């Protein structure tokens, strides 16, 4: 995924299916470096992690 698409998803009110390594995630924010984003797993787990934007996939 590219940085511009991450920005679009963050500003959208729609629920957009994004995956990291095949796992559904919510994008919390685009980090200041512009290369990574903070995400958390969809569901009950609220653990947040930083991942490279290029590793995110929209379905």
What's the CA gap between 52 and 38, in Å, rounded?
9
Whether the pLDDT of residue 13 is over 80: the answer is: yes
Residue 43 binned pLDDT confidence (cut-offs 50, 70, 90): confident
Residue 42 binned pLDDT confidence (cut-offs 50, 70, 90): confident
Identify whether the C-beta of residue 39 lies closer than 8 Å to the C-beta of residue 49: yes
Unique residue bearing structure tokens 């729609």: 14
Identify whether the C-beta of residue 37 lies closer than 8 Å to the C-beta of residue 44: no
Whether the pLDDT of residue 9 is over 80: the answer is: yes
Q: What is the rounded average pLDDT of the residues 23-47?
A: 90
Whole-angstrom Cα Rg for the chain: 10
Let me know the angle formed at the C-alpha of 4 by 14 and 42, rounded to the nearest 5 degrees.
Answer: 45
């Amino acid at each position: 995924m590219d940085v511009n698409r991450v920005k679009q998803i963050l500003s959208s009110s729609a629920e957009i299916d994004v995956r990291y390594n095949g796992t559904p995630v919510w994008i919390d924010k685009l980090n200041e470096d512009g290369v990574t984003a903070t995400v958390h797993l969809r569901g009950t787990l609220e653990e947040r992690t930083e991942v490279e934007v290029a590793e995110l996939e929209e379905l």
